[in-house]
Every structure is written in C-alpha cells, then in structure tokens.
Structure 1
Amino acid sequence: MNFKQMEAFYWLCQLHSYRRVAERLSLTQPAVSARINALEEDLNVQLIERDTQHFRLTEHGQQVAEYAEMFANLHEAMTSRLDERRQRHLAVGMVSMVTTSWGSLMRDMVAEMAPNVLLDIHSGSNRDLRRLLRAGVLDLAFLTDEADLSRVPNSFTVQYEVGWVGPPDLLRDLEQPLSTKTLRQLPIILYPPSSPIMQSLSKMLHENRARPNARHVGNSLATICEMMRRGYGISAVSLSQVEDEIADGKLVLIETTEPIAPLNICCVHLNRARKAQVQKIYEIAERAAREWCEAHPRFLTFMSGTPS
C-alpha cells in the first residue's frame, strides 16, 4: 500500500467517477483502476461494489475511506509545513461558540500583534475538529470538555452559560419557571447528534418517547438561532450567542425548573513542531478570551489555568 493508491481512492470517494479522478490526478482511467485494484489486493478486501450501476462503497470501503481522508489531510499538512511560502499560515480549530465570540477578537489581535502570521480558522463541531486533529491539520484547537480530550496543561477556560430561549409569541401565555413537561409541549429546535448539547437535551426531554409537538433540527448554532428569530420554536443555546436579542426583547430567556449545565471550552492541542509560534498565538488567544469575557460578563466566565 502506498500514498498514490490511497490518494486515488480518496478522490474516487469524493468524485464517484474514474474519469473525473483521472482528470484530477492527470492520469488515465486504466491507471486509476490499477491503483484501486492494487489497494484492494494489498488490503485483501473489496472496497467498491462492482455489481451496481452507481458508485457504492462496501462496508470495508467505508472504513478505509476515513483513513484515506486522513492520508490526504496529512499529506496536505506535511507539504504545508515544508513549503516556506506557507510557513506564515497557522491553522486554528474552534467550536462555533468561540468563532462567534472571542474568536473574532483573537483574529484581530493576531493581525495587530503578530502581523507575520495568517490564521486559517477551522470552525466546526467537536467531532469535526477531532477528525482534523487526528489528521494533523490543526496547530491549535479549542473544544468543549465533551470532546473527551485532555486539555493543554494550565489551559484557560471559558465557561458558556446555556439556557432555554424562544420567540415571545410562543411564550406569552406561559407562567414561568417552566417544567420539563411544559417544555416538551412546545415546538423545539434540536441539534445534530454530534453536538455537545444534544445528549443532555435528549435525556432531559425524553426524546425517545412520543413527541407532542414539532421537532426541528438545525445543523449549526447560527442556524438554530436564526430559526428561533423566525419563530420556529424554542431551543437551548449558549446564551452569549443571543445576548443582544434577549436585551432587545426579540427573544425571551426562559426560566426553567431544571437548569442545563454550562459548557466549558479550553485548549486541547498545541502543535509542538511549531512551539514558539504557536505559544505566542495561544497567549494572544488567552488575552482575547479574557477581554471578551470582561466585556460580556452576563453569560460568560473566564478562568485562568485549570479550574478546581
């Protein structure tokens, strides 16, 4: 097994066409087929269903596809490190709560304090960022504790208060605080299963039972907040994301009898191969997080080092 075989298989998984892969890699179609066949022989498994009209991976093929993506990401990361023209770039992974809060301040401060560095921001869920970490793509990463990764020693933490919020029209005739039973009667906007909030919400709302009202799903925090603004239903969100709407009365903070635990975000990765440069950016990130929390203290708490 070699990289060229994995590269051909990766692009076949992406493009679903031998012809398009051949064009992408400047090869002939027989050459692409030969690489795929050689990979199957080396692994002693069939990767592609050949008795169907459309492209389809076997169960083994689906497993190998994940590793092929890691190979491709590792190759890109390695070539980026070795290319002097790209040494200025530094990849930072952050969950969306960071991207839409102190992440923007961090970006601006890096531009001012380290003008020789260009930040490449990768925003996603814990699961998305874990995959990039495994592939060696990221230089720094800020995830929630639910990612189940060891935090960088003495990492700062930003605690995000989580609560129920909804449009005023849905809540006008309800007496607060609301019980979990009452919440279940309302239309609710839920998260994808990969979200750190979704597991706790499912247990709280007993979503395995019959659902008495609509259950919508938003694929990101920004989408969920916009769906609330447009009256789709209520949701449990990081309250700092909707602080202005709550202050303006466009959304209502719901008092409940059962609180939701806050989300803690910390640094879980620093690229040791670029230690000096990465450490400087981490220190700027810590300063940005502290200043942002001081300016937005209602729903955010900054904690230095490892919280007790």
Structure 2
Amino acid sequence: MKIVQLEYFCAVARLHSITQAAAELYVTQPAVSSAIKELEKEFNVSLFNRSKNHLTLTKEGELFYQKAQKLLAEYKQTLNQLHDIGRTISAVKIGIPPLLSTIFFPEMINDFHREYPDIPFELFEYGSIRAANLVHEGILDAALVNMHFYEIDKLNSIQIMQDKIVFCVSKNHPFAKKKEVTFDMIKDMPLIMYNTDSVQNETLDAIFKNSAIKPNVILHASQLYTIKSFICEECAGAFLYSSLLKKLPGVVGIPITPTIHQSIGLVWKKGSYTTDSTDKFISFVKKHTIL
C-alpha cells in the first residue's frame, strides 16, 4: 500500500467518480483506476459498487475510507511537523471561491507577503462547501468561505466580514431604479446562479423553495467577468455580494427584501497540527478582519 493510492481512493470516494477524481488530482483516469484495483487486490476487498456513471462505497469500502482518511491526516501532520523541525518553510494551501477571491485578492496576499516575504502560498478556487470539505480532509490548510453552511462547527473558524446579497441588473434595466425587490418580483426573470457547491446557492434555493417559486436559471457561473457580461447585455439578473459592486461599473445592485445577510470567514481543521506558515497566515487574517 502506498500513500498515493490512498489519496486516489479517498478522492474517488468523495467525488463518486474516477473522472472527477483524476481531474482534481491532475492525473490520468487509468492511474486512479489502477491504484484502486491494486488496493482491492492487496487487501482482498471490493471497495466500490460500480454503476454506469457513479461509484458508491461498499460496506467494507466505508470502513476502509474512514481508516484511510485518518491515516492520510496523520501522515500529513507528521510531514508538516518534520518540515517545521527541519525549518523548511512550507507553502500555505488556501481554498477560496472565485467571487470571494475578487473581494480579497490580490490585496490580502500582497499584504501578507509584505509581512512574511519568505512564506509561499498556493491558491485553489473551489466553492465554499467543497473548499471546507477539503480543509476537513487535510488537503487544504485553510479556506476563505461563506460561513452559512450546516457543517461549519466541524472546523475552526473566524469571521472576517459581514456582507449581504443584492440583486444585480444592468443600469439600463427597468428594475435599475427600484429601491428594493422581492423574490416574487423576479420569479419569471432569467437568472444567473453560482456553481453548485456554493453556499450562496443553497441559501437562495431554500428561499425559492419556501416561496414555492421555480427560478428561471439560464446559467450557472463562477467567473465574475462572465456574470457581468450577461448582466450588462441584459440577458439575465444575478445575486451577488454587495461588496462586488465597486468592481462592476454598469451594474446596479438592488436591495432584496427580506435582507439576506452573509458572513465571510476563514476556516481551518480542528484538532490537527498546523504548520508554522499556516499559523502565521491565520494570525495575519485575525489581525486584518474588516468587521
């Protein structure tokens, strides 16, 4: 058994797909398939129930997954401790949703680099839910996330800022001069929603469901440039953080009634060793909160 085999197995178990796991790990699908087959052969166990496009863990696979996660977490902690003992400066791996990166970066990283010029970092764009899961699994050191998801208590967290969601349209749109909008007013409008692993989406989907409204979603997007283009061409409206408006000339943000408040924060794993580099980043963020 090799550590890399366990990493491949855990990725497939989490994503239920060899294709998606290979894409996330930047390896080939045959490499992932081979790693799983080797584990099954070595331990004489069937790890997955295989259907056409979906993989689910067998009963034995579930137990194997739990053990593999613990082993990988211990391996990473030990590796980080050895790096610190040898005074190797490890990179901080940070997850961040694309829209939040527009609010916080590159300013935050530039400020961090001025204070700690020798500490490298790696940024990974994921929605808040997926980024938080990767932190919990020890793949990422920390993540900037929308904190309104039900498993937030599984992680250490600090709140960085408060924001609210506004409904965005072109400055030439008939709604542009309205003082507020309700969900009933926009129920038939073409809409842009964020990607599916977004906390913002979960919040909005719950409101639509409670209001018995089926939204007319024409696009799921994660890049601000794409969203802005659709808005300015009056193809659709979108729900965005109010903090983004200063970066969107030609776009009007209309307050939503009732107001949808959002908390943005940093999360990192509970009960786990953190490298000196990660500790410094967490301390830096704590000192630079903008509440």
What's the TM-score once normalised by structure 2's chain length?
A: 0.70
Give 1:239 shift.
1.6
Counterpart check, 1:37 vs 2:35:
no
Give 1:216 shift.
1.9
RMSD: 4.4
**Residue 201 of structure 1: which of 201, 204, 213 is its match?**
204
Match of 2:125 in 1: 123
**Residue 107 of structure 1: which of 100, 106, 109 is its match?**
109
- CA-to-aligned-CA distance 1:1-47 (integer Å, 9 cap, x gap): 875763575698345999942xx89xxx7x974543334x34xx462
Q: How far apart are the structure 2 equivalents of 1:111 and 1:55?
A: 44
Q: Say whether the 8 Å CA contact 1:142–1:265 is kept in structure 2.
A: yes
Q: How far apart are the structure 2 equivalents of 1:98 and 1:19?
A: 31
Q: Say whether the 8 Å CA contact 2:94–2:142 is kept in structure 1.
A: yes
Q: 1:260 to 1:218 in 2, by over 3 A?
A: farther
Partner of 1:216, secondary structure, is: strand
**Greater Cα offset, 75-84 or 95-104:** 75-84
Q: Structure 1 counterpart of 2:94, which letter?
A: V
Q: Say whether the 8 Å CA contact 1:228–1:235 is kept in structure 2.
A: yes
Kindly report structure 1 stretches of 4+ aligned residues shifted beyond 6 Å.
16-19, 65-69
Match of 2:231 in 1: 228
Partner of 2:93, secondary structure, is: strand
Q: How many residues align?
A: 273
Q: Say whether the 8 Å CA contact 1:73–1:137 is kept in structure 2.
A: no
Q: Structure 1 counterpart of 2:262, which letter?
A: L
The answer for unaligned runs of 5 or more in structure 2 is 13-17
Q: Say whether the 8 Å CA contact 1:3–1:71 is kept in structure 2.
A: no
* 1:180-259 superposed matches below 5 A: 180-206=183-209, 211=214, 214-220=216-222, 222=224, 223-245=226-248, 248=249, 250-256=250-256, 258-259=257-258
Q: How far apart are the structure 1 equivalents of 2:67 and 2:106?
A: 33
Which structure is higher in helix share?
1
**Residue 167 of structure 1: which of 167, 170, 176 is its match?**
170
Give 1:230 shift.
3.8
Q: 1:3 to 1:92 in 2, by over 3 A?
A: closer
Q: Structure 1 counterpart of 2:193, which letter?
A: L
Q: Say whether the 8 Å CA contact 1:18–1:33 is kept in structure 2.
A: no
Identity score, percent: 13
Q: Say whether the 8 Å CA contact 2:99–2:222 is kept in structure 1.
A: no
Partner of 1:237, secondary structure, is: strand
**Residue 141 of structure 1: which of 118, 140, 143 is its match?**
143
Q: Structure 1 counterpart of 2:41, which letter?
A: N
Q: How far apart are the structure 2 equivalents of 1:196 and 1:58?
A: 24
Q: Say whether the 8 Å CA contact 1:10–1:72 is kept in structure 2.
A: no
Q: Structure 2 counterpart of 1:99, which letter?
A: S
Q: Say whether the 8 Å CA contact 1:9–1:36 is kept in structure 2.
A: no
Give 1:163 shift.
0.7
Counterpart check, 1:178 vs 2:181:
yes
- CA-to-aligned-CA distance 1:248-281 (integer Å, 9 cap, x gap): 4x1122244x133221112332686346543432
Q: Say whether the 8 Å CA contact 2:163–2:243 is kept in structure 1.
A: yes
Partner of 2:258, secondary structure, is: coil
Q: Structure 2 counterpart of 1:36, which letter?
A: E
Give 1:183 shift.
1.1
The answer for unaligned runs of 5 or more in structure 1 is 290-301, 304-308
Give 1:114 shift.
0.7
Q: Say whether the 8 Å CA contact 1:91–1:140 is kept in structure 2.
A: yes
Match of 2:265 in 1: 266
Q: Say whether the 8 Å CA contact 1:191–1:220 is kept in structure 2.
A: yes
Q: How far apart are the structure 1 equivalents of 2:139 and 2:48?
A: 26
Which structure is higher in strand share?
2
Partner of 2:185, secondary structure, is: helix
Match of 2:58 in 1: 60
